[in-house]
Amino acid sequence: KLQDAISVFIQDQSNRLHELAVAHDVSDKQVKDILGLKTHYHKECHMQLRNVIVHVKSKELNEGRPSGDKYSLEEIQNIIDNDPAYKQLSAEEEQDYIDQLNEYRALKMSGARTNNMSAARDAVAVMDRISKELHALRDRAGIYATVLMVRGHVNDQVQSTWIATDNAHKFWEDRLSLALDDVAHQFEEWACNEKKNISEHEDLASLQKQAAAIMMSKLCMFFLYSFSFISADVSSGRATGRMDLTMNYQNYEKAIVLVYGVKLDGWPEGLPFLAPSHMHTVLEVRSLRDALVTGACHWKKLNRRELEDLRTDIQRRSDAGEVIGTVGKKRSDAGK
Q: What is the largest CA-CA distance in the chain?
A: 86
Q: Report pLDDT digits (tens) over 18-28.
A: 888 888 888 88
Q: What pTM, to 2 d.p., does this model score?
A: 0.47
Average pLDDT in the 64-73 region?
A: 83
pLDDT of residue 199: 52
Query: Per residue in 125-148, pLDDT tens?
Result: 888 889 989 988 888 888 999 999
**Could you give the CA distance from residue 293 to residue 80 in angstroms, rounded to a whole number?**
35
Question: What pLDDT sits at residue 195?
Answer: 55
Query: Above 70 in pLDDT, residue 239?
Result: no
What is the pLDDT at residue 7? Answer: 79
One DSSP character per residue, 255-314 reads: IIIHHHSEEEE-PPTT-----GGG---HHHHHHHHHHHHHTSSEEEE--HHHHHHHHHHH
Q: pLDDT tens, 253-307?
A: 888 888 888 899 999 998 999 999 999 898 899 899 989 988 889 998 888 899 8
Residue 230 is predicted with a pLDDT of 40
Provide the pLDDT for residue 247: 85
Question: For residue 194, what pLDDT is reported?
Answer: 63
Q: What is the DSSP string of 78-116?
A: HHHHT-GGGGS--HHHHHHHHHHHHHHHHHHHHSPPSSH
Average pLDDT estimate for 167-193:
88
CA distance 168 to 179: 11
Which pLDDT score, from 0 to 100, does residue 113 have? 52
Could you tell me the CA-to-CA distances from 74 to 54, 79, 80, 128 in Å, in that order? Answer: 10, 9, 10, 34
pLDDT of 57 above 90: no
* Whether pLDDT at 90 is above 60: yes
In this prediction, residue 38 has a pLDDT band, given cuts at 50, 70 and 90, of very low
| Distance (Å, whole) CA 150 – CA 130 | 15
How high is the mean pLDDT of the chain?
79
pLDDT for the residue numbered 144: 92
Give the bridge partners for 262, in sequence order: 301
Tens digit of pLDDT for each residue in 94-137?
Answer: 888 888 887 777 666 555 555 677 778 888 888 888 998 998 88
Phi, psi of 106 (to 5 degrees): -65, -40
Res 331: pLDDT: 52
Check pLDDT > 90 for residue 160.
no
DSSP alpha helices (H): ranges in 143-298?
A: 169-176, 180-193, 204-226, 258-260, 282-294
pLDDT confidence tier of residue 225, bands split at 50, 70 and 90: low
pLDDT computed for residue 39 by the predictor: 47
Of the candidates 245, 299, 311, which has an alpha carbon nearest to the alpha carbon of residue 267?
299
Q: How confident is the model at residue 210 (pLDDT cuts 50, 70, 90)?
A: confident
